[in-house]
Every structure is written in structure tokens, then in C-alpha cells.
Chain A
Amino acid sequence: MTRLNSKYIPLIATALVMLGLYAIGCILYRNFFSLRVVVDLIGDNSFLGIAAVGATLVILSGGIDLSVGSVVAFSSTLIATLVRDGANPIIAILVTLLAGAVFGGLTGSLIQLFELPPFLVTLAGMFLARGLGFILHPQSLPIKHPFFLHFISENLSLPLNERVNWPFTATCYVVIFLIAVLVAHYTKFGRYVYAVGGDEHSAKLMGLPVGKTKIGLYSVSGFCSALAGVVYTFYTQQGNPASCVGLELDAIAAVVIGGTLLSGGAGFMAGTLMGVLIFGLIQTLITFQGNVNSWWTRIVVAVLVLLFILLQNAISLISGRLGSSKSNA
């Protein structure tokens, strides 16, 4: 019973922090309690959220992906250059998604086949994707295609009332999130990821396809990053090789605040969603306050990350003691 409960404690803590931050906002600022704030919260953080979905899977498996931000920037640039050169937007998007998945797959293969540390390989991936983006186009490239300028922002957004629209980027995030929940918690692949993160050696001994799972999940992470890049182009109508520096850190922070264990094997997709929303809430609060240095976002996020890691440690310590006292008795 305690085992079952301790699994959910970080998730409950995350939910409390999220609701607490939202309540603080509603109490302090008059216009905070509105539909617009909630919609913007999801819409503005959609590409971070989608990137964080991939990061969650990788971290659940006990790995880490530092190439996320660069791949997002590269993908947005790739779409922008393809569309500029006359490609159909849909084809450009599909090519980009494929490129992201292949990139992730290559990273995963290096990690798996040659037993290299994920941290170092994805670090190289981060440099590589960043540089490749600049080779495609050396600076920000606006996308002038009507598909991006009008179709996405006008035809695909849903009006909720006279003044607030539900943006397409938010729809993308919600759909990806639901798929991710299905994959992580209700498919074989998801179970494999948890098993590899729990104990890779045991997973191998149980006969699970550890290698395929690892390569697969890095390629899913690359795909998610590419998709985040696609959503970035919807959001900003440009491709920018210099954008999203440090997005991987934000994504990792969101995953950790969402209660996923950094050593792998435990955590929930829903936690990451709340982690992303907490990240967004802090930014929104600072925007509402107006006179606070925006760098406080980083500091507050870092403090939250630390608190959640300490909470995890405390839980594993306590449940470990409970478990051992039980087995002694």
C-alpha cells in the first residue's frame, strides 16, 4: 500500500505547486483569473511541452537528451528553407519530422551500439544540429507562405468566445500529450522504457529488446523535438537557427518538476504536463508583476528542481526504510 502511494506523492506535490501558483496569481492580479491566461499558458508553452514529452521518455529510460533545443531550432530552419525554396508546406513538415526521427535514431544507435554515454553523444548532437541549422540559413528566416500566415492561425484555431481563440499550437500539444500518455502507460514500448530505466541489466536478462527500445526512444525524442520545431514555426512564422538555446534544460526541468525520477524508471507523462504549466505560470506571474527581472524565472525554476529532487530522495529513503522493516518483520 505504501509502495503504491509513494509512487503518486511527487505527482500530488506537482499538482499542489501548480494550483498554488495559479491561486497566487488569481489573488494578486485582477485579470489573472481568465480564460485567456489559461489558453495562452498552453499555447505559448506548446513547443516546450512537446519537446518535454520526448525528454520524459528519455529520462524515464535513465538517459538524457541535451540536443532538444538545437534540434527544435534546426527543424524550424529546415521548414523555413524548404518552404522558401518552393516546397509544399505539408511535405516540408513531413521531411522535417523524418529528419528529426533519423537524427534521434542515429544518436540512439551511437549510444546503444558503442556503449557511449548518452550525455556526451547528445551533447555532440546539440553542437551538430545547431551548426547544421546555421549552414541551412545563417539567420532568422520569415515564412511567407499563406499556409503558415493564414491557414494555421486563422482557419485552424477554434474560437472559444468573442475574444479568446484556442490556437492550433495548443491543439497540437494536447494531441501529442494524449498520444504520449497512451504510448508511455498503455503500450509494450512504454513498459519496455520503464523497465530499461528501472534496471537495464534486469531488463536484458528478462529478454526485453533493450537495444531496440533505446534506439527507438531516442528517435521518438528526435521526432518530438522536430515536431516542437514545426509548432515553433506555427507560433512564430519563422525559422531561426539561433532560437531555443537552453530549451533542453527547460524541458529537463519541467520533467523533474513533474516528478519523474532522473535516474529513470518512475514518473508520469501527466507530471510533465504539469511541470510545463508550472514553468509557464512562473513566467506569466513575472510578466504580470512587470517590474521583476525576468531572470528570476530561471532561479525559481532551479529552486523548484532542487526541491523536487530532494522530495524524491526523501521518498525513496522513507519508502526504502519502510520496505526493509517490512521484510525484516
Chain B
Amino acid sequence: MARERLQPSKNAWWFSLIWPVAALALLLLFNLLFTPGFFHIEFREGYLYGTLIDILNHGSKVILLSLGMALVIATAGVDLSVGAVMAIAGSVAAQLINRPNTPLGAVIAAALVVAVICGCWNGMLVTLFRIQPIVATLILMVAGRGIAQLITEGQIVTFTHPGLTFVGNGHFLALPFPIVLALGMLGITVLITRKTALGLFIESVGDNATASTFSGIDARKIKFFVYLFSGLCAGIAGLVAASNIRCADANHAGLFLELDAILAVVVGGTSLTGGRFYLAGAVVGALFIQTLTTTMYMRNVSADVAPVPKALAIIAVCLLQSPAFRRRLTSTFRGKPA
């Protein structure tokens, strides 16, 4: 930590993007050379179609999650419950929309409120009871799917409401609506963290909560807020996920997506020790993961085997970010300890 602090702050915001963008570019280059039709984009019936659009479309859930996750990780925390919260939000929406005469706005609002309550619960455990974030959010991760099951009464609840299906399947300005939603949330998140002091506060709390408290920042409030925000992002992602398949599946909605979100944030250059966050990096990270997944599917790798390259990618990224690994590497090449 101290070592990083002492380095001159040469990093403009785009500087942090070099590594994730390079990784993404490498992957795209591979596809350009070896996967035929990867870059083919069609304009049909007023909408855009193509693999790249699909990547954006399917990646939007991870992008949404990674926005909240980036802020949580910036406070040196982690939110493992986002997948379960997605399932809860989807279940609430599906159950409510099937009641006669329920306005769409109320359904969406209710689902998001429930997701925010889940986020507040995590925030309360972390701030009030001072439980380590991994464990605090683990509780909701374990219980959340059970709660979602209870909401859906153990069924897979299907729905046909055109408004709710639009969230995951509609188009806006020729783009699939989830992309627009993710971009919108990215805009809002950048606005509230980078155009106000909030982002600075979050980074300061993540760097040193005690010092932040002494300099007048209410560290607890900041931490509470990031978990709340992560819950909200998970709620939106849950709506998209449920809407995509026109049903709420309490068992599988958002399963393992928390891992993808954490991975996206880490690939994006945000360190798990907290103190810094890069939203643009997280988005690029999310796209990297989705591109990796799509590439494997297009190359006929079975969905079950897909975790192997993902795991190797995580380890590679972690190693590249690890100061200890860099020290070893430089000392090997220079032939003496750096």
C-alpha cells in the first residue's frame, strides 16, 4: 500500500485503463483472426444485430453489478450477495406483475426497493455489527436464494407483461435496452462519484477508515451507502435477468454472477485492498469477461468447461497486479533485486 502511495501520481483516469483495454483488444484480435463472423453486425428491422451487440447485451448485467461492486471493493469490502439479490428482485417483480391491475412502475419500484433493503441489510451488518464484508454478505448469499424460493413458492414464475419483458428484450435507439440501461447507470454512477466528493470519500474510507473518521468523514455512512448502492445495481440486474427469460428462476437467476462482477472489477484495475476504484475499468473488465465467455461458446467449448479459462484469466490478472510478483519478475530480468 505504502509503496503505491509513494509513487508519483502519473495516472490520469485513462492510464488505469491501459491493461484491461489491452486484454480486451488481445481477445478481440484473436477473434478477428480465428473466429469467422465475430465482427459481423447487421442492421435489420431497425435494430442492430451481431455478436458484438450480443456481448454488450449479455454483458450488461455484469456491468450493472460491477458498478456497485467497484464502489464496495473501493471501501475494502466485497459484496457476495448480488447474485442472490438478483434472484430476490426478479422473484418480487414476477410475483407482482402477475397480479391483475398492478402498474408496471409500482412493480419495478417494489423490486428495486426490496433490492435496496437487501443492500441496507448488508450495510447494517458491516457498519453496525462490524462483521467482515465477506462474511456479512455471505449470510445473504446463503439465505437470499431461500428467500427468493419462498417468494416464488418454489415455482418458476413466468410472465408475459409487455412492459416488464421490454426491460430485458426491448430496443432503444436500435440498441437492446439492457445496454442503454447499463450505460445510463454508468453515467449516473460516474456523476455521483466523480462530480461530487462522494468518490473521494469512498476511496479515503477504503484507504484508511480511521484516518477518514478523524478528518470528518462518516466512514460508516459511506460504507452503508456503497452496500445500498450495490443492492440497487443488483436489483436492476435482477430485473434484466428475469425479463430476459420472461420468468423468475430463484435457483439460477444470477448464479455465480457475483464472481463475474468481482472479476470484472479486479480486471478493471481496482485492487481488492480498497482505496481506489475505476468505473470505466470495471466496465471494460465486464466486457472482457463476456467476450471471453462468448468466444468460448462460439468456439464450441461446453458451458461447463468454460470456468477453466476464466480461472486462468483470474490468476493471470491477479499475478500481474501483485506487487510481489512484479518484484520477482523485474529482479529476474535485471538479474539483481530491484
Taking Cβ atoms with an 8 Å cutoff, the residues of A that contact B are 64, 110, 113-117, 119-121, 123-128, 130-132, 134-135, 138, 241-242, 246, 249, 252-253, 256, 262-263, 293, 295-299, 301-303, 305-306, 309-310, 313
Q: Report the separation of the CA atoms of residues A303 and B125 in the bound assembly, to the nearest whole angstrom.
A: 12
Tell me if B170 is interfacial: C-beta within 8 Å of chain A: no
User: Which among B48-56, B96-104, B108-116, B143-151 touches the partner chain?
Assistant: B143-151
B residues within 8 A CB of A135? Answer: 305, 308
Query: Measured between C-beta atoms, what is the minimum distance from B323 to chain A in Å?
Result: 7
Of B130, B142, B309, B310, the residue contacting A313 (CB under 8 A) is B130
**Does more than half of chain B's interface fall in helix, strand or loop, or is it mixed?**
helix
Q: For B142, what are the chain A residues with a Cβ–Cβ distance below 8 Å?
A: 246, 249, 253, 298, 301-302, 305
**In the complex, are the beta carbons of B143 and A299 less than 8 A apart?**
yes
Bound complex: CA A241 to CA B308 (Å): 13
Which residues 103-145 of B sit at the A interface, judged by CB distance below 8 A? 125, 129-132, 134-135, 138-143, 145
B21 within 8 A of A: no
Once the chains are docked, how many angstroms separate the CA of A116 from the CA of B328? 14
What is the CA–CA distance of A263 and B314 in the complex, to the nearest angstrom?
Answer: 25
Would you call A298 and B131 a contact (CB within 8 A)?
no
In the complex the two chains form, is B145's CB within 8 Å of A110's CB?
Answer: no
Q: What separation, in Å, do the CA atoms of A242 and B139 have in the docked complex?
A: 23
Interchain Cβ contacts under 8 Å between A and B, 27 examples = A110-B315, A119-B272, A120-B272, A120-B318, A121-B315, A125-B311, A127-B307, A127-B310, A128-B308, A131-B304, A131-B305, A131-B310, A134-B304, A246-B142, A249-B142, A295-B146, A295-B149, A295-B154, A296-B146, A298-B145, A301-B143, A302-B139, A302-B140, A303-B143, A305-B135, A305-B139, A313-B130
Contact yes or no, B259 A127, CB < 8 A: yes
B13 at interface by CB-CB < 8 Å: no
Most buried by B among A115, A127, A252, A256: A127
- Residues of A within 8 Å of B172, CB to CB, are none
Q: Considering the chains assembled together, what is the distance between the CA atoms of A253 and B146 in angstroms?
A: 15
A296 to chain B: which residues have CB within 8 Å?
146
Known: A113-B324, A295-B149, A299-B143. A252 touches B307 (CB 8 A): no
- Which 9 pairs of residues, A with B, have the shortest CB-CB distance? A131-B308, A302-B143, A127-B311, A128-B311, A127-B307, A134-B304, A131-B307, A295-B146, A298-B146
A115/B307 in contact, CB under 8 A = no
Instruction: Provide the bound-state CA to CA distance between A1 and B308, in Å.
Output: 52
How would residues 83 to 101 of chain B score, 1 for a CB under 8 Å from any chain A CB and 0 otherwise? 0000000000000000000
CB-CB under 8 A from A138, the residues of chain B are 302, 304
Size class of the B contact interface (CB-based, 8 Å) = 35 or more
Q: CB of B312 within 8 A of chain A?
A: yes
The verdict on B78 contacting chain A, using a C-beta distance below 8 Å, is: yes
The answer, yes or no, to whether B183 is at the interface (CB within 8 Å) is: no
Answer whether residue B322 sits at the interface, using C-beta atoms and an 8 A cutoff: yes
Tell me which residues across on chain A come within 8 A of B125, comparing CB atoms: 306
Whether a CB of chain A sits under 8 angstroms from the CB of B39 is no
CA A168 to CA B103, docked complex, whole Å: 59
Chain B 291-318 interface 0/1 with A at a Cβ cutoff of 8 Å (1 = within): 0000000000010111111111011001
How far, in whole Å, are A299 and B147 apart by their CA atoms in the complex? 7
Q: Which residues of A contact B312 (CB under 8 A)?
A: 124, 128
Say whether A295 contacts B150, CB under 8 Å: yes
Residues of B within 8 Å of A253, CB to CB, are 142
Known: A130-B307, A241-B304. A299 touches B325 (CB 8 A): no
Q: Is B82 an interface residue (CB 8 A)?
A: no
Interface centre among A110, A113, A126, A302 (most CB of B within 10 A): A302
State how many angstroms separate the Cβ of B128 from the closest Cβ of chain A: 10
* Contact of A114 with B325 in the complex, beta carbons under 8 Å: yes
Report how far A127 CA is from B304 CA in the complex, Å: 10
Residues from 244 to 286 in B contacting A, C-beta threshold 8 Å: 259, 262, 266, 272-273
Collect the chain A residues with CB atoms within 8 Å of residue B319's CB.
110, 114, 116
In Å, the complex CA distance between A45 and B302 comes to 32
20 new A-B contacts, CB < 8 A, other than A135-B305, A305-B138, A309-B135, are: A114-B324, A115-B322, A115-B323, A116-B322, A117-B273, A119-B272, A120-B272, A120-B314, A120-B318, A123-B314, A124-B311, A130-B307, A131-B304, A134-B304, A246-B142, A252-B138, A262-B135, A263-B132, A305-B142, A313-B129
